[in-house]
Amino acid sequence: MKTIISMLALPLMLVSVAQADVVVIGNVAAPNMSKDEVTQFFLGKSQAMKPVDRTSSDPIKAQFYQKLSGQDLSQVKATWSRLVFTGKATAPKELPDAAAVKKAVAADPKAIGYIDKSEVDATVKVLLTLN
């Protein structure tokens, strides 16, 4: 019985380890933001800030959108496809890793992105933490 319980608990432990603390970052001069504001930027409802996205193959992207909006990547892609097709917005630029996101955000006061909390350094400011 103990072995069966251990086998059942292992996948749950792996899931919790795989879940990162995702933070939304901005230029050091950027103001803090609410979850609603960040959602509007990353789902194309506001163009006041320029969201910087990660590639779809990066697992943090799925975690970010799930934690931010409760949507999976197919729903997010559908939203952006409609916005781009109708000319209402331009999809966020996709960057390959946290270093590229930090560099882009640090260089542009209007850019916001997301990374794992452990990758934050002095070049960017944490605007929102998603747990």
> Domain with 97 in it: what CATH number?
3.40.190.10
Q: Is residue 7 part of a domain?
A: no
The whole model's pTM is what?
Answer: 0.83
Q: Which tokens is 93 given?
A: 């630029």
Mean pLDDT of 9-13: 44
Q: Is residue 77 part of a domain?
A: yes
Q: Rounded to whole angstroms, how far apart are CA atoms 81 and 87?
A: 10
pLDDT bucket at 19, cuts 50 / 70 / 90: low
Mean pLDDT of 49-53: 96
Question: Are residues 17 and 115 in contact, defined by beta-carbon separation less than 8 angstroms?
Answer: no
Mean pLDDT of 20-30: 93
Q: Residue 51: in which H helix or E strand, if any?
A: strand 50-54
Name the residue with higher pLDDT: 90 or 2. Answer: 90
Q: Is residue 15 part of a domain?
A: no
- Which of 97, 55, 56 shows the shortest CA–CA distance to 74? 56
Q: Would the pLDDT of 119 be above 70?
A: yes
- Which of 32, 30, 36, 25 shows the shortest CA–CA distance to 60? 25
Q: Is residue 13 part of a domain?
A: no
Q: Is residue 120 part of a domain?
A: yes
93-95 vs 50-54, strand pairing mode: parallel
Mean pLDDT of 23-52: 95
Q: Rounded to whole angstroms, how far apart are CA atoms 94 and 91?
A: 9
Instruction: Check residue 14 and give its pLDDT.
Output: 41
- Print the domain residue range for 33: 20-130
Q: Would the pLDDT of 23 be above 60?
A: yes
Q: Rounded to whole angstroms, how far apart are CA atoms 117 and 45?
A: 26
Instruction: Check residue 131 and give its pLDDT.
Output: 83
The DSSP line for 55-93 is -TTSHHHHHHHHHHHS--HHHHHHHHHHHHHHTS--PPE
What is the tally of structural domains in the chain?
A: 1
Could you read off the pLDDT of 60-118 as tens digits, one per residue? 999 999 999 999 999 999 999 999 999 999 999 999 999 999 999 999 999 999 999 99
